């Protein structure tokens, strides 16, 4: 438990951003590998079936609200306020903020979750309009049952995100980054061992989600206790810190909702397409999430507390330099990853998912949407690192305005492209809107004088393009045809894919060395 005195808040020494980023990246890599294993297991047992479509629909809804409330608007509002309390208030005030935030958040989530479970059938009707229109009653029934089981996950994972935000602010990045591994382990175990106990085997996945929520929350509590920051939930809406968080959350909620609404629009529209469309989008999106989480979200995670601290200290130049470092890092890692996803899409999907219930058609369809998603990877990553430039300054309104523009653009592109390209059109629209969102965020920071590019950008861009060109030529030369790839055994596909990825990465980094880039150029 935390001290209640008025002593200054004790916190660990801040690690350099690059070191913190590497720690988070390593944990995130572990989580994403576990996530890919999870998806391989799900694909093996359920493929792109009606049952799989129903689970992905049901799971996407609490995930939507998780990203909206917990990891989105709440974190963006909470971390800047917590950083200010950490820098300027005593331990008693800090503990009071944690206690009252935990109580308010917990009660709000409990009410929301309860109402959601009662109205599960109506929610599914809204989000699965295509299933209702096509009278696919089995899909609707399964999705409703699974939504009732998975919705409490929202409560649990939101409290987990609250705990993770505290740990991140106090320099404990590894624990929150590792926590998602537990979700993947739980789903794998449920798919393998719980599945035989249900009349509808896919229900095992829903129970796996709920179990994971419990495990993730319980896992983080000892680390909070070790820091002396374990909250004791209390409710007081008049608490100054809580009211500030709520004021910041309202516009942040709209800002974060843009990206999530885009995903849900894709989901709703995909229900009007042929069976398998939701699954194809899910499997390809999962592969997009690997580099996005590994690089984009990792960098965003470590810079938000850093930027918040720079803003509190009124270090304008250091604030801009931190943003500049983040932009360079996501381009350095995101652009080559984007090319890799495009070039390797079919063999990636085939290697990971071509087993069990998955067919060749499923592989081809999922690889097409992966190409479309992969084209927008750099845009998504730039949004992740540019938005904290506003949130750290407690400006949550500007990203809302920008996000709404991107949302309407996405909707227009969705309706235009779906008629010609089906599920691939939905993925392309998402990628295009991500680049528009990133551009407008960058433009806003520039016009306000918050961010200005440091010296050396011309040389950086030139060297980056040369290194990417070398890697792209290698991938184009060594990437085999899908037909040939499918003749290989599973283990041969895995081995050859690893060789291609490792050699491609080696070519890229060696090219950077040849053109004059050095590790010291990216230390901060």
**Residues 377 and 514 occupy one common structural domain:** no
Instruction: Report the pLDDT averaged over residues 344-354.
Output: 82
Is 10 part of a structural domain of the chain? no
For tokens 């409290």, name the residue.
Answer: 159
Last-in-domain residue among 454, 469, 504? 454
- By residue count, the chain amounts to 524
Is 79 part of a structural domain of the chain? yes
Give the pLDDT score at 332.
Answer: 87
* pLDDT over 80 (residue 275): no
Is 245 part of a structural domain of the chain? yes
Per-residue DSSP letters for 229-286?
Answer: --------TT-HHHHHHHHHHHHHHHHHHHHHHHHHHHHHHHTTS-TTHHHHHHHHHH
Last-in-domain residue among 454, 486, 503? 454
* pLDDT over 50 (residue 181): yes
Last-in-domain residue among 433, 454, 475? 454
**Residues 354 and 465 occupy one common structural domain:** no
**Residues 58 and 87 occupy one common structural domain:** yes
Of the two residues 474 and 282, the one the predictor is more confident about is 474
**Residues 432 and 484 occupy one common structural domain:** no
* pLDDT over 90 (residue 217): yes
- What is the span of the domain harbouring residue 483? 461-524
Q: How far apart are CA 408 and CA 484, in angstroms?
A: 42
* Range of weakest confidence among 34-48, 58-72, 87-101, 115-129: 58-72
Give the pLDDT score at 23.
Answer: 67
List pLDDT tens digits, range 368-427. Answer: 889 999 888 888 888 888 888 887 777 777 887 888 888 889 888 888 888 788 888 888
Instruction: Report the pLDDT averaged over residues 346-358.
Output: 75
**Residues 432 and 513 occupy one common structural domain:** no
Q: How far, rounded to the nearest angstrom, does the alpha carbon of residue 419 sit from its chain's CA centroid?
A: 28
Is 6 part of a structural domain of the chain? no
Structure confidence at residue 518 as a pLDDT band (50, 70, 90)? low
CA 432 vs CA 99, 267, 471: distances in Å: 42, 17, 24
* pLDDT over 90 (residue 216): yes
Give the pLDDT score at 455.
Answer: 75
For tokens 């599920």, name the residue.
Answer: 423
Is 36 part of a structural domain of the chain? yes
Q: Which segments of 271-396 does DSSP mark as H helices, in order?
A: 277-291, 298-312, 316-353, 360-375, 377-386, 388-391
Instruction: Report the pLDDT averaged over residues 114-124.
Output: 89
Q: What percent of the chain has pLDDT over 70?
A: 86
* pLDDT over 70 (residue 316): yes
Nearest to 259 by CA among 456, 63, 120, 521: 63
Q: pTM above the 0.85 mark? A: no
Q: How far apart are CA 273 and CA 423, in angstroms?
A: 8
* pLDDT over 60 (residue 288): yes
CB 511 within 8 A of CB 467: yes
**Residues 392 and 520 occupy one common structural domain:** no
* pLDDT over 80 (residue 233): yes
Nearest to 130 by CA among 263, 267, 271: 271
**Residues 80 and 100 occupy one common structural domain:** yes
**Residues 209 and 310 occupy one common structural domain:** yes
Three-state SS across 405-429? HHHHHHHHHHHHHHHHHCHHHHHHH
**Residues 200 and 315 occupy one common structural domain:** yes
Is 12 part of a structural domain of the chain? no
Instruction: Report the pLDDT averaged over residues 321-325.
Output: 82
* pLDDT over 50 (residue 1): no
Of the two residues 297 and 252, the one the predictor is more confident about is 297
Is 261 part of a structural domain of the chain? yes
| Residue 477, Cβ density class (10 Å: 0-12 exposed, 13-18 middle, ≥19 buried) | exposed
Instruction: Report the pLDDT averaged over residues 208-213.
Output: 94
Number of structural domains, the chain?
2
**Residues 393 and 504 occupy one common structural domain:** no
Structure confidence at residue 259 as a pLDDT band (50, 70, 90)? low
Q: How far apart are CA 184 and CA 203, in angstroms?
A: 16
**Residues 131 and 267 occupy one common structural domain:** yes
**Residues 254 and 232 occupy one common structural domain:** yes
Is 3 part of a structural domain of the chain? no
Give the pLDDT score at 4.
Answer: 40
Give the pLDDT score at 263.
Answer: 67
The shares of helix, strand and coil residues in the chain, as percent rounded to the nearest 5, are 80, 0, 15
Per-chain mean pLDDT for the chain: 81
């Amino acid at each position: 438990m935390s001290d209640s005195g008025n002593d200054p808040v004790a916190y660990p020494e801040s690690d350099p951003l690059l070191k913190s980023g590497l720690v988070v990246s390593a944990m995130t890599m572990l989580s994403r590998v576990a996530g890919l294993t999870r998806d391989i297991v799900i694909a093996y047992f359920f493929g792109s079936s009606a049952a799989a479509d129903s689970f992905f629909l049901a799971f996407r809804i609490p995930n939507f609200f998780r990203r909206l409330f917990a990891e989105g608007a709440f974190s963006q509002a909470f971390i800047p306020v917590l950083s200010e309390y950490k820098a300027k208030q005593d331990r008693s005030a800090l503990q009071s903020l944690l206690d009252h935030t935990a109580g308010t958040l917990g009660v709000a989530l409990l009410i929301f979750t309860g109402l959601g479970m009662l109205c599960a059938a109506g929610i599914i009707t809204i989000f699965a309009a295509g299933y209702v229109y096509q009278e696919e009653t089995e899909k609707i029934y399964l999705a409703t049952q699974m939504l009732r089981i998975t919705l409490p996950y929202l409560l649990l994972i939101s409290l987990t995100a609250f705990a993770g935000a505290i740990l991140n602010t106090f320099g404990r990045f590894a624990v929150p980054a590792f926590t998602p591994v537990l979700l993947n382990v739980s789903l794998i175990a449920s798919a393998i061992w719980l599945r035989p106990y249900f009349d509808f085997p896919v229900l095992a996945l829903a129970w796996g989600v709920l179990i994971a929520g419990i495990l993730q929350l319980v896992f983080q509590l000892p680390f909070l206790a070790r820091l002396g920051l374990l909250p004791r939930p209390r409710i007081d809406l008049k608490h100054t810190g809580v009211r500030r968080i709520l004021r910041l959350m309202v516009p942040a909620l709209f800002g974060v909702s843009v990206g999530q609404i885009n995903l849900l629009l894709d989901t709703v529209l995909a229900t009007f397409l042929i069976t398998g469309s939701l699954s194809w989008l899910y499997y390809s999106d999962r592969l997009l999430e690997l580099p996005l989480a590994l690089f984009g979200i990792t960098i965003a995670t470590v810079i938000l507390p850093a930027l918040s601290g720079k803003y509190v200290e009124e270090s304008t130049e250091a604030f801009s330099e931190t943003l500049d470092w983040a932009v360079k890092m996501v381009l350095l890692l995101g652009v080559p990853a984007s090319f890799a996803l495009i070039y390797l899409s079919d063999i990636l999907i085939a290697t990971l998912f071509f087993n069990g219930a998955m067919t060749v058609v499923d592989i081809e369809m999922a690889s097409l949407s992966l190409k479309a998603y992969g084209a927008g990877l750099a845009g998504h990553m730039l949004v992740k690192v540019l938005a904290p430039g506003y949130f750290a300054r407690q400006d949550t309104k500007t990203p809302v305005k920008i996000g709404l523009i991107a949302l309407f653009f996405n909707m227009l592109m969705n309706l235009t492209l779906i008629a010609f390209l089906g599920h691939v059109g939905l993925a392309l629209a998402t990628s295009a809107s991500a680049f528009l969102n990133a551009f407008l965020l960058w433009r806003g920071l520039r016009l306000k004088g918050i961010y200005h590019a440091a010296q050396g950008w011309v040389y950086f861009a030139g060297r980056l393009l040369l290194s990417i060109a070398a890697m792209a030529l290698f991938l184009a030369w060594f990437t085999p045809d899908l037909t040939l790839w499918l003749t290989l055994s599973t283990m041969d596909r895995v081995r050859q894919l690893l060789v291609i990825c490792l050699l491609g990465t080696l070519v890229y980094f060696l090219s950077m060395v040849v053109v004059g880039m050095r590790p010291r150029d990216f230390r901060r």
